[in-house]
């Protein structure tokens, strides 16, 4: 994949994640505000959505780290190279998952 396309893909994905992080934080804040004036059942709902928010946050942060690492590989001209076998990762795979670090064969244990 040409570096410019990779960079665009990674930056777009990062922008999406940052947007999700903002929305997610707003949702957490609303839950906390509501807790003072809700009953037991809805408190359970609130706890559930807080747990979900925390999970979204964890996943988000993990992917943001993966994006930072991918951008670093891009700067080092290592982006798109399978870290397991050294073959090039297909453009289709990178378009679907721009932070992929292994080719499809390695990912599926065929190599």
Comparing C-alpha atoms, which of 45, 18, 16 is closest to residue 30? Answer: 45
Q: Closest CB to Zn ion among 68 and 85?
A: 85
> How many residues interact with Zn ion (rule CB under 5 A)?
6
User: What are residue 92's phi and psi, to 5 degrees?
Assistant: -60, -40
Q: Cα 24 to chain center, whole Å? A: 14
**Residue 52, burial from CB neighbour count under 10 angstroms (0-12, 13-18, 19+):** middle
Rounded to a whole number of angstroms, the minimum distance from the CB of residue 90 to Zn ion is 11
Q: Is 83 in the site for Zn ion (CB under 5 A)?
A: no
Q: Closest CB to Zn ion among 39 and 109?
A: 109
Rule CB under 5 A: choose which of 84, 88, 91, 92 binds Zn ion: 84
Q: Is 29 in the site for Zn ion (CB under 5 A)?
A: no
Rule CB under 5 A: choose which of 82, 94, 99, 100 binds Zn ion: 82
**Residue 99, burial from CB neighbour count under 10 angstroms (0-12, 13-18, 19+):** buried
Instruction: Give the x/- contact pattern for Zn ion in 92-111, rule: CB under 5 A.
Output: -----------x--x-----
User: What are residue 58's phi and psi, to 5 degrees?
Assistant: -60, -45
Binding site for Zn ion (CB under 5 A): 82, 84-85, 87, 103, 106
């Amino acid at each position: 994949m040409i570096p410019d396309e990779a960079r665009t893909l990674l930056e777009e994905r990062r922008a999406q994640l940052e947007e999700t992080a903002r929305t997610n934080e707003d949702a957490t804040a609303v839950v906390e505000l509501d807790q003072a004036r809700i009953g037991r059942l809805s408190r359970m709902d609130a706890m559930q959505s807080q747990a979900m928010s925390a999970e979204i946050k964890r996943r988000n942060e993990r992917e943001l780290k993966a994006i930072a690492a991918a951008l670093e590989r891009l700067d080092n001209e290592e982006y798109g190279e399978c870290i397991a076998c050294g073959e090039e990762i297909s453009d289709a795979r990178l378009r679907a998952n721009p932070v992929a670090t292994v080719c499809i064969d390695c990912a599926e244990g065929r190599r």
